[in-house]
Amino acid sequence: MSKLRNIELFDSTLRDGTQGEGVNLSVDDKLRIAQRLDEFGVSIIEGGWPGSNPRDQEFFARAKTLTFKQAKICAFGSTARSIDGVATDSNLNALLMAETEVVSIFGKTWSLHAARGLGINAEQNSALIEQSVAYLVQKGRRVIFDAEHFFDGYKDSPEFAMEMLRAAQAGGADTLVLCDTNGGALPHEVAQATQHVLDTFDIPVGIHAHNDGGMAAANTITAVRTGASHVQGTMNGVGERCGNANLSTVIPNLVLKLGLELKHAVDLSQLTKMANYVFEIMNLHPDDRAPFVGKSAFAHKGGIHVSAVMKDSRMYEHIIPTEVGAKRRVLVSDLSGQSNIRYKAEELEINLQDSHGELPRKVVQHIKELEHGGYQYEAAEASFELILNEQMGSFSPFFEVEDSRVIVSYEREGHNLADAMLKVRVNGEVEHTAADGVGPVNALNKALQKALVRFYPQLSTVHLTDYKVRVLDGNHGTKAVVRVLIESHDGENSWSTVGVSENIIEASWQALVDSLNYKLMKSKIKNKNIKEQEA
Question: Residue 412 pLDDT > 70, yes or no?
Answer: no
CATH number attached to the domain at 399-455: 3.30.160
Cα 323 to chain centroid distance, Å, stands at: 17
Q: Could you tell me which residues are beta bridge partners of residue 411?
A: none
Q: What pLDDT is recorded for position 48?
A: 97
Mean of the per-residue pLDDT values for the chain?
A: 90
The domain defined by 374-393+463-535 folds into Double Stranded RNA Binding Domain (3.30.160)
CATH superfamily, domain at 8-281: Aldolase class I (3.20.20.70)
Lowest mean pLDDT among 246-250, 325-329, 340-344: 340-344
Rg from Cα positions in the chain: 30
Burial class (CB in 10 A: 0-12, 13-18, 19+), 3: exposed
pLDDT at 4: 46
Contact of 182 with 210, CB cutoff 8 Å: yes
| More confident of the two residues 91 and 344 | 91
Residue 161 has pLDDT above 70, yes or no: yes
Q: How confident is the model at residue 2 (pLDDT cuts 50, 70, 90)?
A: very low
> pLDDT over 90 for what percent of the chain?
66
Tally: H helices and E strands in the chain: 17, 16
What kind and span of H or E run contains 300? strand 299-300
Same fold, 374-393+463-535 and 399-455: yes
**Structural domain boundaries in the chain:** 8-281, 299-372, 374-393+463-535, 399-455
pLDDT of residue 477: 66
Burial letters 146-183, b for 16+ CB under 10 A, else e: bbbbbbbbbeeeeebbbbbbebbbebbbbbbbbbbbeb
Predicted confidence at residue 212, as pLDDT, reads: 98
At 474, the pLDDT band (50, 70, 90 cuts) reads: low
pTM of the shown model: 0.75
Mean pLDDT, residues 316-322: 95
Max mean pLDDT among 82-86, 95-99, 350-354 falls in: 95-99
In 10 A of CB 346, how many CB atoms? 14
Label residue 404 by pLDDT band (50, 70, 90): confident
Residue 114 has pLDDT above 70, yes or no: yes
Question: At residue 371, does pLDDT exceed 70?
Answer: no
How far apart are the C-alpha atoms of 378 and 333, rounded to whole Å?
6
Spatial neighbors of 218 by CB under 8 A, at least 6 apart, are 187
C-alpha separations of 462 from 304, 406, 456, 525 in Å: 37, 22, 11, 17
Which residues in 377-481 belong to E strands, given as ranges? Answer: 400-412, 415-426, 429-437, 463-471
DSSP secondary structure string for all residues of 346-357: HHTT---TTTTS
pLDDT per residue as tens digits for the range 243-299: 999 999 999 999 999 999 999 999 999 999 999 999 989 988 889 999 999 989 998
